[in-house]
Structure formats: structure tokens, C-alpha cells
Chain A
Amino acid sequence: MRIGFLLFILACTTIGLAQMRVVSGKVVNDVNEPLGFAKISSKSPKGNALTANDGFFSIQLKDTVSATLTISIYGYQTQEVVVGSGDQNLAIVMKPEFSDKKEITVIGYGEAKNKTITGATSKVDGEDIEKMNMARMDQALQGQMAGVNISTNSGSPGGSANIRIRGLGTFGDNDPLILVDGIVYDSQGLNALNPSDIKSITVLKDAMAGIYGVRAANGVILIETKNGSINRKPTIEYNGYFGLQETSKKLDLLHADEYAVIKNEMFAMGGQAMPFDNVNVGKGTDWQDQVFTRSPVQSHNVSLNGGTLNTRYSIGLGYFNQDGIVGGKKSHFDRYNARLNFSTDLSDKLKLNSVLLFSTEGRNTLPENGIGSVLYNAINAFPTEPVISPMGNFSYMEEVSDIINPVAQIMNTYNWNQAQKFVGKEEFVYKPLSFLTVTNRFNYNVSLVDSKVFSPLVWYGDGKYANTALNNQLESPTVELTSGFEIDRGAAIYEERNTFSDLSYEGFANYDQVFKTDHQVKATAGVTIFQRDGKSLNGVAYGVPNNDVNYADISANTTQGGYLNNTGSWEFTERLVSTFIRAEYGFKEKYLISMVVRRDGSSKFGPNSRFGTFPSMSAGWLISEEKFFQFKPIDLCKLRVSYGLSGNDQIPNFAYRALLNGEGVYVFDDVITQGVAIGRPANPDLKWETTRQLNIGLDLSFWKKLSFTTNYFIKNTYDLLFQPDVSALMGSYGPGGYPPVINAGNVSNKGWELELGYRSDRTKDFLYEANWNFTAVNNKVTAVPTGVDYLPGAAFSVGGDVATRFQKGYEIGYFFGYQTAGIFQSQEEIDNAAVVQEGAKPGDLIFVDQDGDGVISFTDDSDKTYLGSAIPDFTMGFNLSGSYKGFDISANFYASIGNEIIRNYERQQPYANQMSYVIDRWVGSESSFDVPRQTTEPTRNNVFSSFYVEDGSFLRLRNLQVGYAFSKNWLRKIKMEQLRVYLAANNLLTLTRYMGYDPDLGSTSALSAGVDYGLYPQAKTIMVGLQFKF
């Protein structure tokens, strides 16, 4: 229709007019591709022309007079060209709209020019994420932005990281809201997202996130996936790498001979017979060498991008495959991705944006990050034991019941996980008037998560907790289900199928109009309706034939009657209905003000408090636009202030009501009989956590090269949602019972962020860029529920004391235990000490008497004190890149300073292997001032004290890359646009004093952060990569 009309005009204008000349030319885009259907118009004489597919056009102009042509095409900036009287064969280069994508940022339900943003945001481009060559977006985000702290839960393939925006706001779920092209994308499912599909990541850190209301308190991450461009011929891009990974560190453990000497000493000191007659046993088994391996990682991504006059498309395919550095294929992750971004103009005014992301991923895991994990066993296994005993079995190490042979453990572990995810939206953008856009979108996010655990019949030695067989003949135990009905409890397969589906509708209108050139008024109003359903089904089948993993499926159940054990299921539905309004006003892009109100109703909360209102506002002042500001080097100076409320609704569904999901089981007539019990008492007043955040920020830019952004924030979270200890009288500490979820307790985060960026002149051969960011957050619990002194966190050692706490006046999860003050060197010193330390002998740790009563109390907490916290004093990211002609180099550093770690991977057992620092143990007066004596007799040296707390500060070179791009001229001959090869390394260098595997130690639970059970370390990876485009 439109095309026909334009052709008609074109035809009209070419009908013979005298004293005219014909001017011709070619319109191309910034990458020299011809643009068809660009409109060329001239005012005098009035006339229009369109370019042909090859970009060529001709138009009639008045002879001898210069004229102005306006060239416009959708997706590009309209430009005017003055045509002199003699000009012919014009070459017109169109710049894409917002040619510098860095100038536009997506904010919730709209976008904004960076210059006019009044909130605190940070943005990273997709290239910077992709360049890190990491499996997950969150891993690649570490050190990229101020105020966004990433810590790693596990270095295993597919292992997750934690994203913490501006500190820990809560004891509970601290995960930010993640939206991919506007679609809610749960942080647990991030494995599915291919970093190569990302165009940009924007983080809303302050009250600006308030447009997302009850889900915004932990910050909001907006991810855009790549899309095509109007009027571009299709380009195909490939980006792939292959790498080899190995552990970045091995612990310094005792060799067999050192072990034998020290164990003999321990037993002798404890008055027991020495276990080793001969201590000349050589180096023995290095269990770490047995479990660590060198393993491959590879990634391949292909994308097809392009567009026609009214359609844009981007299609991506990805494959990722990684084996673990512990156990190789037994700890594995692979992923296939497919992506389609498609937009088309259904009419002049109506546009359709369609996104579909599909992924399928598989993950195999080994027991990790806990007591009984493979690395925990490898650390504590006896170096004097061979991997395989002379009898031909894996060595048993029977002296300690909870240490098993880690090599056998790897072999016998079969955990699979598979997830399929479909995420997408259909979005209709209707623009009836130039100042009004109405968007209606329908989003979906469906995940199918399946897992299987095969437990073969195994025998690790007498008394081992992990045995599933009755004896070393692998006989299976039997279970009597009802009287007279017995089944063999042979090799077992556990299967679980979970389905989650989100459906949502969002409708909103954006209004944007400028009055009298100086007054810009913008407004957004909308509604969203969100529903999430989840269901699960699980069960165990016994008697997998032949103890063989190849038959490990519920269908292979050999039990009489097909009986499944421990079958279970659950189902939930949650809903959220919201309305929101945002109003913005700007005067001359100099004074800016914005106000947001969102009202949320959530099915998660009790009937007494189901709806919440979350207002926020922000203002900005571009001082550099003022007349009085005449300071040339500074081209931008903006002061920003924001304040607002947001909420956190991350609690289990139906937490406000008492369900019969407790466990009530007793034995009648020798049969285990199922009853019912209340799981968690009701709390009909349950509501969201509220965060109030103030942000003051300053943006500066010097010579358009050096940018500087700083923010100071105060973020207070109130009415924390958690389950503190409640009085025993509520009866909630039975089997399957939990305390009620209540609103109590406050947390404060105050912090300071700094981002510095420098970009060299774009016109030189040698280009370089440097970015540095800095974050300091001061975290403090400001209130706990009444009657509760503190909430206990992680335990130290096996069955030991609680070592971390949530307590008023301290950081979330701070460490609490005895402070040591060296070693008692002699009995005389003990006798003369001002403080009585019961049971102390020479060589024992000296504890500090905190309450000053002259006695170290081991029966209560009066002499325990603050010993540090996992929260760093500050973190920094430093990114450097440079290029000279075809060569490029980049480096990405991350540093975390002032965080402490609890060394909790040492099994405090007489026979367990130890770190080599015990070689410097106390053996007599003045022999050691920090490592206590080694003995099997009872001592207090293994209670939680500062002896087990280490400085976890580190600086890490996360990524280093050197590349070479072949010259364009040469490539043109082989019809290629780009060809680059590179060499890259991840985690090449880590500077730290921490003794454990990896100081980058996170935990999904705020109270377990910094407790190291033998973390699966991040791999050191060397990669070669190839990128090309044609």
C-alpha cells in the first residue's frame, strides 16, 4: 500500500518539467551496505524519490540552484544533504538511529537517553559479556559494574553464582529480579541463558527499580537479547572456542611420611598406641591428583542477523560443553540454545516483536561443597592408603566412618539433571500518534526440569555412612513394607520431574511529548498480570537390574508389584497483579524529575495484607547545561537524587497458612504408619519486606573520553521475611515442622560506588579503553525479632557449634567464636595466667577472656566474639583493552578485599589427613606460636575460634585475551567481513593468602557465605577462539 503510493508520487514528480537537472546517488549504511527504499525528498521543488534495492536513486532538481535533500529511512537518523549546483553522484552514508548504542538505556517499561536518566544504573554491553568466555551470564558479570557483587557457589560445570546488588538486604532470598526482554527469568534458571545471545545488561540499582514494585527490593537486571537491523542484508557470524581447564590450586596436604610421623605423635600424646610402626612410607597417595583432572570446554555460536524494510530478525544457535576439573564427565554441563528475535511492521502504526528462546541443558554433578563431598574426602583421606588395596578393592579407610575413598565415590556417583526451557513473548506495539505508544505483550516462560539419581549398591568399608549394601558382597538390604511383604532394597533410582510455567500479560502506554521545545513530558501507565504454576512428581524404584546405570530408570523397577518408594509430589500456583504509573518531566534536559507509583497484589501474602503500594521519585540536575557552567574540559556534569520504596516477596507460597505438610509417622504393628501433622503454623498478617533506598549520584564526563560516576546510597530493609526461632510452645519443631514465616527484623546497607572509564580517541591506530569500578558496602543488621538474640547460621565442623549469626549490630552472617592469643608454651604459663582456661595444657590455644570474668567459659557464649564476616570491605573490577591495527588485548581483573573465610574442610578426626601447616605444630616450649599441639586426647583446640578464620581477600585475573583480526581489505577478497583468532585464559592468576581452594566463595544462603567445606574451585582455563562473519 505505502510502497504503491510512493511509487505513484515518484512517477508524478518525474513527469517532464523543464529547466531541471537529474541528480543521482547512492545511499548506504554505516557498514557500506546499500539501503533500498530510502526516501529522498526535496522541498523546492517539491519532490520525492526512493532508492532502489541497490541503493541508487535519482531525483530532479532545479538547474543551477543548490538544493537541500532530506534522506530518511526507518531505523536510521534522518539527514539533510546540501547539493551544490554541480554535484552529481552523491554518496550518502546513513547513520543508524542512536548510532552509539551506549547512549540509550532500557529502563522498566520504556527506554531513556542516558543523559536524562535520574536513577542509578549500570550497563554492560553484550560484547563485554561474551568476551569473558564463561558459561553463565552472572559469572561474566563479576567485576563489570559497581554495586553488583558476584560470588561463586561452585566452580563445577553449570555451577551457579550469586548476584547481590548493593549488599545483602535480607536474611532470605537476595536474588535480584531478572528480566530478559521484559520476561521474568528466574535466577536459578540462568544456566539456560546463552551469554552470546545477550545484547546488553542493565542493572537498576536504586529506587528507579521501584517500577517493579514488590519484586524490586534486591534490584532489577534487564537483559536485552540481540536483534536484527532494518535494511541489512543477512550476515552470518560464528564465534567459538575450545579450551583446557585444570584446577587453579591444590591444597598443601601432608605426604604419607609426614602424616605417619604426626599421627604417631598425636596418638602417643593421647596415651594411645602409635598406629605406624614404620614412618618411612614415602609420599603415599596424593588424593588430590586422583580426583583432579584436566578437562575440555568448548563453545560454538552461530547467528544470522538482518532485516528488510519492515522486518528485522536475529537467529542464534549455540552449543556449549564443559567437563569438570573434578571427576571429568561425572561433573559435566552441556547446553544447546536456539533463539529467534523477529520484529515486523504489521502496519504503519502497529509493530510486532516476537522473541523465542529455547534451551536444553544437561548437568552431571558430584557431591560438592559440603561434608562428604568428593573434595572433602580427598582432603581428609589418608595418604598412607593406596587408591586400590592389595585385595583389589578401593581402600576403605575404616578408621573414620565418614571419610570414604573419593575415587570410588566419583565412580559410584550418578546424578543427572536436564532442563528444557522455552521463554518468549509476543509484543504488539501500537503507535496511533507520534507521542503515544501502546504496548501489549504476552510472555511465557516454561521450564521442564528432570533429575535422576542412581544409587548403586556400594560398600565403602565397615560403618561408612555412604554404604548402600549390607556387606562387601554387595548384598542388598530388605525392607518390609507391610507385614509379610518384603522387598529388596537393591540399587535405587530416584527420579524427579518438575514443571514450571509462567504466563503473563503486560499492557502499558507510553506518552512522550515536548511542549514549546523546552518542556518534555513523559508518562507511562500500565497493568501486569502474572501467574506461575509449578508441579513435581518424584519417586524411587529399587532393584535396578545388575546394579547397572544403563538400566537406571523407574521403568526398570524389579520390585514385586512395581512398588515405588518415597513417592512425592507438590504443586503450587502464585499470582501477581500490578498497576503502575510513571510521570517524568524535563526542562531543557537540564532539570529532570520522575515519579513512580506501583501497586502490587500478591497471592503469596496473607489475606490481611495482600496489596502493597510502592512509590518512588528521582530528580536530576544537569549542571553542565547551565550558563554559569563554562568549564570546557567537563562536557557533562549531572547530579542525581532518588528515594523510594520497593518490596521483596520471595517466600514460599502459602506460607501464611498452616498446611498439613508436617511429618507424623509412627510404628504400629511393626509397620511404618503415615499420619498427618501441621508443618508450619499460620500467620495471616504475613506481608512483603520493604526496602527504602536513598541514592545520591554524580556523573561527570571529561573531554568526552573520561567518564566518572559515583553513587552514595542508604538502603534500609524493613519487616524482613523470615522464620526466626519461635517459642517451643508453638509446637513447630517436630518432624517436617518449621517456624511460621513472620515479618521482623531490619537490615541496613550503606555504600559507595565509583565507576571510572576512559576511552582513547577513536581515530588513532592505537586504541585503548580502561574501566575501573569500586564498591564499598557497609552491611548491618539493625533489628531482630523480639525475644531472639540472633539467628544461628552454619555449623562449624561435624556437629559443632554454630559459627555464623544474624545479629543486631553486625553484618549478616558474621562469624562468632573464640579469639585466640597464641599458644600456651608451658604449664607455668597456664598456672600463672590471669585467666583460667579449663583443661588447657602446654601447646593448646590461648583464648581471650571477652567478658573479663577471669574464666574462659566453654558452656555459654560469654567469651565468644566477632571473628570476621564473608562480606568484603570493598570490591573492585578493572577492565583494560587495547588494540593496534589488527591486534587486540584485553584483561579483566576482580578484587575482593576484607572478606574472611572459615576453614571448615578439615575433619577433626585422629586419622584424617591434615594441611601441611601442622608440620609447624607446637611440640615443646617456643616451638610454635600459632599452630597448637597435635593429640588425640580431648582438647579445646577444635572449637570454633579465630584459628579457623582466614583472610579471604583476593585479586584475580579473570580473563586475559589476545586476538588478531585480519585486515578488511584482504577479507573482502574472500568475501568475508570479519575474521579474528584469539588466545584467552580464565583465572590465570589469583593473588591471595587464603589456604583453601578458591577464595571466591559464595553461598545462596546469606548465613552460610564464607564457610568453606572444600569448595569446588573455579578452573584455570586456556582457550583458543575463532570469530568470523560474512
Chain B
Amino acid sequence: MKNIKRLLIIGLVLAGIFSCKKFLSVDPPYTQDAENYFQTPEDYDRALVGAYDLLQTSFMSLWIGEIASDNAIAGGESVNDSQGLHQIDAMTHGGVNNDLRSLFRWNYVGISRANYILENKENIDFPEKAHILAEAKFLRAYYYFELVKFFGDVPLVIDKRLGIEEVRNIDRAPKSEVYAQIEKDLKEAYPVLNAVASQKGRATKGAAQALLGKVYLYQNKWTEADQMFDAVITSGLYSLHPVYTELFDVAHENNSETVFDIQYSGLEGGGYGCLVCLEGNAAPGFQGIRQYNGPVYGDGNSYNLPTEDLYDFFPAGDPRRAATILDIEAFIAAQPNPSAITYAIGAGGHTGYYNNKYIKRQGEIGLPDNDLTSPVNYRVIRYADVLLMSAEANYHLGNTSIAQTYVNQIRARVSIPGVSVNSLEKIYNERRFELSGEGHRFFDLVRTGKAASAIPGFITGKHEVFPIPQVEIDLAGGRWSQNPGY
């Protein structure tokens, strides 16, 4: 009895002297948190991997770059399936658009992850730090370039994370300031970056120079653009891959023509619930043939279908037509047992054509759900693109012969006769022949002033940029104005 009483008294005394504050201050067990990170070089490198991750959302840029243009329609299961893309297809898009919102969000995730590294750049010193910071700047520039291409003026957040209150006190920065920041980041990055990547997939000097050249080209800064492209061309590291039809195979990835590829793997499964989590490329599966059952290809979701307009644009003798566009009926008819091959037509639209560059092929199928997990890389900048961009800059600078040389290098690769580059139009046409289906068309049309004539429903002064998602305007405290016309 007495013992029990004693025990109780001891218990009460213990309860009395016990410190509440300390007891309640619990640290998450076995977890690094955001504030005590960046202690070792590996910490920096792992955070950098996180910043690269968002590149893998490129499928959305690819789709919109094609669907908004005269190259493709949205397609899919129904008009309500990815409504945002259908609206963009019809040029009826407005401030409420889930696909544009995803794009806006994902690129800011990439920026904030790059900023998280750069915010902590002074923590420790180690030999590889300069390269890691240069990669982070390259990535930040890449993400801001996506945003400025799509939305024009966008808020500029540099080297910091924003708190809940801060996001309501930031304005959209003028396009020129965004471009200035992109140029600054890339100019700081390319001298540091390795010419040859230490690991396949990392940003290189050539990638940064080509991207910077492209950024200049989008601002009509021909001289600066030419310098950058020239540096890439004269580096001697790049050449055109001899076989055009192999360019989009997994087997021939990261070849001599690759200036910058976004890397994907088919070795991790994925689901529709989280497209941003995928390690595979969602584009080939989405662009695959609906409920297809037959040889060569896999089945997919019939998105981003090339138009008749694009098909007809190619001269019959250009082998790039077949490499770019799959004419499904013609393909089936050419197979040994056509009647055994079946596919379905999605209610979201049908043209009879599929994107033959990024399409689900047998032998390139990832883990379930394999509509989402293609191992096929996204070719951000090919050497062919560098040549054509350089040709364009040179044409503007009056060096038409250089322009002609580059254009004809491209044509020679597919064994078709050269042309005389006596107008910009020739270069623009060559870009469409060479680069269709790769997500560049809409932005090319806009920057060359051709969009209004090429895209039905395109309103000049409005559709050059997409609307800022209305909800993002609201969430940022309602202080941003919408893009004109929306």
C-alpha cells in the first residue's frame, strides 16, 4: 500500500517538474528538413536532380506547341478529355485552362527548385560546386524561357523561396526583364559547363549556348544569336545524324545531333493521377494509336494528331513526311494481313494521321501504365535546329550564303536537292519540314508573324501569348493584369 502511494507521489512530482515546451518540441525522426540541408557536396547534387526533374513535364509544351499551331488537332477520347487542349486547338482558350495551369505550375516548380540551390550557394565550398550552380542556372533559364514563350510577362523570383504572404506582393516582370535574367543565367552558365557531359542528360556548354542563341533569336537579336550558334557549330562536337528516320528511336538516342535532350526512362511505372511524377515520357503513349492492335506500334490515346494541312505541305518526295506523319490507313493497307489490324477513332477528333516522331512503338514500351512511361527522350534542341536557327540569324544579317549552306546541309541529310535560300520563307518552310511534331511550330509562327495567317481563329495582339491562368492571378492577390484580349 505505502509503496503505491509513494509511487503516486513520485509520479505527481515528476509531472510537476516536467518541461512542457521541450517535450512538445519534436523533431521529425530520421529526416533531413529544408533548413538543415546543403551540408555536403552530395546534398547539392541531389537537390540538382530535383531541379532537373521538372524537365520531364515537357510533353505539355510539346502538345501545345503543336496543337495551337496549324500542325495538329487535340484529338483524344472526347472533346471533354483534356478540354484545355481542345480549347487551344480551337483558339477559344481563356483564363480557365487546366493544361495551361499545369504548365505554369510545373515551370515554377522547376524554378523554385533551382532557386533553392542558388539560395544556399554560399553554404560550403567544394570543387564541383561551380558546375552544379551553372547547371542550376541553365535549368532556371530553361524554365523561365518556357514561361516567357507561353505567357510573356511573368513574375521573376530569383535565388529565394517565397512564403505564403510574399506571393501576394510580387508583380509580373516585363518580358524584357525576364529575358535579361535568362540571358544572365545562361551567360554565367555556359563558360563553366562541361563541353561533354559527365553523365548523359546533364546540361552542357553546347546546350547552354544553343539555348541562349534561341533566346536571342526569339528577341530578334541576330548578331548575338549568330555568335552563340556559331560557337556550337564550330565546336566540332555536333553533326547531323545520317538517318533521319532513326532520330526518334530509343536505340539512337543521344547521338551526334543531340544538343539537349530531356531524358526519360521506361523503368518506373506511373499513373494518370500524377503526370508530374512520371519518369517516362507521356507524349508517345498519349499520341499513340487508339486501341491499336497490330504490328510496329503500341496502342495509345490518339492525342495531338497531325492535320491534313501539314501532310499536304510536304512535297511527295520528301522522306521526312513519312517520318513525321503516320498515315494510319496507308500503313495498315501495306501490312501483310491488314484485316487483322484494328484501331479505334477517338471522339476527340480524327485526321487519319498520327505523330510518327513521338509515338508508342513496340520495343519502346515502359512499365504500366505504359501509355505514360515511354523511354523516348524529348529532343529539346537538335543540331538540325541549331543550323536552321543559325541560317535564320545569318539571313537577317545578310549572310544568305551561310543560310543557304545550312539549309542545304539539312536537305542533303535526307537526300533531297538543295534549294536557293532567297527568302526567309524558305528557311521557315524548311523548319516546318524538319521540325514538325516536335513542339516548335506555334512559337515559330508567332515570332515570325505568320500565326494569324496560318491558324484559323488566331487574333493578332491576343493569341501571341496564352492567358495567365485566372486562378493564379487570384492566388497571387489579384494584382496582375491579364494578357490583352483575354
A residues lining the B interface (CB < 8 Å): 270, 272, 346-347, 350, 398-401, 428, 430, 440, 462-463, 465-468, 477, 479-481, 489, 505, 507, 527, 529, 571-575, 577, 601-603, 607, 610, 653-654, 657-678, 681-683, 725-737, 740, 742, 786-789, 797-801, 858-861, 908-910, 936-938, 940, 942-943
Distance to closest chain A CB from B263 (angstroms):
4
Q: In the bound complex, what is the Cα–Cα distance between A727 and B277 (angstroms)? A: 20
Whether a CB of chain A sits under 8 angstroms from the CB of B367 is yes
Distance to closest chain A CB from B476 (angstroms):
5
Query: In the complex, are the beta carbons of A727 and B476 less than 8 A apart?
Result: yes
> Which residues of chain A are within 8 angstroms of B200 by Cβ–Cβ distance?
668-670
Out of B30, B108, B299, which one reaches A731, CB within 8 Å? Answer: B108
Known: A800-B81, A942-B80. 13 other contacts (CB 8 A): A462-B293, A466-B368, A479-B267, A657-B33, A666-B52, A667-B201, A670-B200, A675-B49, A735-B274, A786-B168, A787-B475, A859-B83, A938-B79
The digit string for B10-30, where 1 denotes a CB below 8 A from any CB of A, is 011001001011011110111
Given the contacts A575-B24, A603-B24, A799-B81, A859 and B87 also touching, CB distance less than 8 Å: yes
Which B282-296 residues have a C-beta within 8 angstroms of A?
291-293
From B92, which residue of chain A is reached at the shortest CB distance?
A859
Given the contacts A683-B164, A801-B80, A861-B96, A732 and B109 also touching, CB distance less than 8 Å: yes
Residue from the set B83, B94, B477 with the largest chain A CB neighbour count within 10 Å: B83
Distance to closest chain B CB from A100 (angstroms):
34
Q: In the bound complex, what is the Cα–Cα distance between A653 and B26 (angstroms)? A: 10
> Which residues of chain A are within 8 angstroms of B268 by Cβ–Cβ distance?
665, 672
Q: In the bound complex, what is the Cα–Cα distance between A400 and B291 (angstroms)? A: 8
Q: How many A-B residue pairs have CB under 8 A?
A: 285
Q: In the bound complex, what is the Cα–Cα distance between A346 and B7 (angstroms)? A: 14
Which B40-54 residues have a C-beta within 8 angstroms of A?
43, 45-54
Distance to closest chain A CB from B132 (angstroms):
12
Segment at the interface with A among B65-73, B111-119, B328-336: B111-119
Query: In the complex, are the beta carbons of A527 and B52 less than 8 A apart?
Result: no
Out of A399, A572, A727, A936, which one reaches B472, CB within 8 Å? Answer: A727
Q: In the bound complex, what is the Cα–Cα distance between A607 and B26 (angstroms)? A: 10
> Which residues of chain B are within 8 angstroms of A682 by Cβ–Cβ distance?
34
Distance to closest chain B CB from A373 (angstroms):
15
Whether a CB of chain A sits under 8 angstroms from the CB of B406 is no
> Which residues of chain A are within 8 angstroms of B111 by Cβ–Cβ distance?
731
From B51, which residue of chain A is reached at the shortest CB distance?
A664
> Which residues of chain B are within 8 angstroms of A740 by Cβ–Cβ distance?
164
> Which residues of chain A are within 8 angstroms of B202 by Cβ–Cβ distance?
668
Query: In the complex, are the beta carbons of A666 and B201 less than 8 A apart?
Result: yes
Query: In the complex, are the beta carbons of A676 and B50 less than 8 A apart?
Result: yes
> Which residues of chain B are within 8 angstroms of A477 by Cβ–Cβ distance?
367
12 of the cross-chain contacts (CB-CB < 8 Å) are A399-B344, A601-B20, A663-B53, A664-B47, A675-B48, A678-B161, A727-B162, A729-B167, A729-B170, A730-B108, A788-B475, A938-B348
> Which residues of chain A are within 8 angstroms of B112 by Cβ–Cβ distance?
729-731
Out of A350, A601, A660, A663, which one reaches B33, CB within 8 Å? Answer: A660
> Which residues of chain B are within 8 angstroms of A601 by Cβ–Cβ distance?
20-21, 24
Out of B1, B32, B347, B477, which one reaches A786, CB within 8 Å? Answer: B477
Query: In the complex, are the beta carbons of B4 and A675 less than 8 A apart?
Result: no
Given the contacts A735-B276, A799-B272, A677 and B47 also touching, CB distance less than 8 Å: yes
Query: In the complex, are the beta carbons of B475 and A573 less than 8 A apart?
Result: no
Whether a CB of chain A sits under 8 angstroms from the CB of B37 is yes
Query: In the complex, are the beta carbons of B78 and A653 less than 8 A apart?
Result: no
Whether a CB of chain A sits under 8 angstroms from the CB of B474 is yes
From A936, which residue of chain B is reached at the shortest CB distance?
B347
Query: In the complex, are the beta carbons of B108 and A787 less than 8 A apart?
Result: no
From B48, which residue of chain A is reached at the shortest CB distance?
A675
> Which residues of chain A are within 8 angstroms of B105 by Cβ–Cβ distance?
728, 733
Distance to closest chain A CB from B175 (angstroms):
17
Distance to closest chain A CB from B376 (angstroms):
12
> Which residues of chain A are within 8 angstroms of B1 by Cβ–Cβ distance?
346-347, 350
Query: In the complex, are the beta carbons of B81 and A787 less than 8 A apart?
Result: no
The digit string for B189-207, where 1 denotes a CB below 8 A from any CB of A, is 0000000000111100000
Whether a CB of chain A sits under 8 angstroms from the CB of B152 is no
> Which residues of chain A are within 8 angstroms of B5 by Cβ–Cβ distance?
350
> Which residues of chain A are within 8 angstroms of B478 by Cβ–Cβ distance?
787
Distance to closest chain A CB from B122 (angstroms):
19
Whether a CB of chain A sits under 8 angstroms from the CB of B471 is yes
Given the contacts A727-B476, A787-B474, A607 and B113 also touching, CB distance less than 8 Å: no
Query: In the complex, are the beta carbons of A674 and B161 less than 8 A apart?
Result: no
Which range contains the number of B residues in contact with the other chain? 35 or more
Q: In the bound complex, what is the Cα–Cα distance between A663 and B201 (angstroms)? A: 18
Residue from the set B37, B82, B113, B168 with the largest chain A CB neighbour count within 10 Å: B113
Query: In the complex, are the beta carbons of A660 and B31 less than 8 A apart?
Result: yes
Q: In the bound complex, what is the Cα–Cα distance between A463 and B200 (angstroms)? A: 31
> Which residues of chain A are within 8 angstroms of B8 by Cβ–Cβ distance?
428, 430, 440
Query: In the complex, are the beta carbons of B11 and A440 less than 8 A apart?
Result: yes
Query: In the complex, are the beta carbons of A465 and B369 less than 8 A apart?
Result: yes
Distance to closest chain B CB from A272 (angstroms):
7
Q: In the bound complex, what is the Cα–Cα distance between A666 and B115 (angstroms)? A: 18
Whether a CB of chain A sits under 8 angstroms from the CB of B414 is no
Residue from the set B8, B164, B471 with the largest chain A CB neighbour count within 10 Å: B164
Distance to closest chain B CB from A785 (angstroms):
9
Query: In the complex, are the beta carbons of A676 and B167 less than 8 A apart?
Result: no
Query: In the complex, are the beta carbons of B164 and A728 less than 8 A apart?
Result: no
Q: In the bound complex, what is the Cα–Cα distance between A742 and B168 (angstroms)? A: 15
Which B339-393 residues have a C-beta within 8 angstroms of A?
344-345, 347-349, 367-369, 371
Distance to closest chain B CB from A1002 (angstroms):
22
Whether a CB of chain A sits under 8 angstroms from the CB of B93 is yes
Query: In the complex, are the beta carbons of B472 and A728 less than 8 A apart?
Result: yes
The 8 closest A-B CB pairs, nearest first, are A664-B50, A675-B49, A731-B112, A677-B50, A734-B109, A658-B34, A666-B52, A667-B263
Whether a CB of chain A sits under 8 angstroms from the CB of B409 is no
> Which residues of chain A are within 8 angstroms of B477 by Cβ–Cβ distance?
786-787
Out of A529, A667, A678, which one reaches B265, CB within 8 Å? Answer: A667
Q: In the bound complex, what is the Cα–Cα distance between A682 and B53 (angstroms)? A: 21
Query: In the complex, are the beta carbons of A669 and B50 less than 8 A apart?
Result: no
Q: In the bound complex, what is the Cα–Cα distance between A861 and B470 (angstroms)? A: 12
> Which residues of chain B are within 8 angstroms of A677 by Cβ–Cβ distance?
47, 50, 53, 113
Which B88-136 residues have a C-beta within 8 angstroms of A?
92-96, 101, 104-106, 108-113, 115-116
Residue from the set A573, A727, A938 with the largest chain B CB neighbour count within 10 Å: A727
From B12, which residue of chain A is reached at the shortest CB distance?
A507
Given the contacts A667-B263, A683-B164, A859-B94, A577 and B20 also touching, CB distance less than 8 Å: yes
Given the contacts A428-B8, A577-B24, A659 and B34 also touching, CB distance less than 8 Å: yes
Query: In the complex, are the beta carbons of A572 and B28 less than 8 A apart?
Result: yes
Distance to closest chain A CB from B206 (angstroms):
17
Distance to closest chain A CB from B304 (angstroms):
16
Query: In the complex, are the beta carbons of B49 and A658 less than 8 A apart?
Result: no
Distance to closest chain B CB from A96 (angstroms):
28
> Which residues of chain B are within 8 angstroms of A733 by Cβ–Cβ distance?
105-106, 108-109, 276
Query: In the complex, are the beta carbons of B167 and A467 less than 8 A apart?
Result: no
Query: In the complex, are the beta carbons of A399 and B291 less than 8 A apart?
Result: yes
Query: In the complex, are the beta carbons of B37 and A681 less than 8 A apart?
Result: no
Q: In the bound complex, what is the Cα–Cα distance between A725 and B101 (angstroms)? A: 12
> Which residues of chain A are within 8 angstroms of B155 by Cβ–Cβ distance?
729
Q: In the bound complex, what is the Cα–Cα distance between A489 and B370 (angstroms)? A: 14
> Which residues of chain B are within 8 angstroms of A529 by Cβ–Cβ distance?
15, 18, 23
Distance to closest chain B CB from A550 (angstroms):
24
Q: In the bound complex, what is the Cα–Cα distance between A666 and B262 (angstroms)? A: 9
> Which residues of chain B are within 8 angstroms of A737 by Cβ–Cβ distance?
109
Whether a CB of chain A sits under 8 angstroms from the CB of B210 is no
Whether a CB of chain A sits under 8 angstroms from the CB of B157 is yes
From A671, which residue of chain B is reached at the shortest CB distance?
B265
> Which residues of chain B are within 8 angstroms of A672 by Cβ–Cβ distance?
265, 267-268, 279
Given the contacts A728-B104, A735-B53, A468 and B79 also touching, CB distance less than 8 Å: no
Whether a CB of chain A sits under 8 angstroms from the CB of B56 is yes
> Which residues of chain B are within 8 angstroms of A577 by Cβ–Cβ distance?
20, 23-24
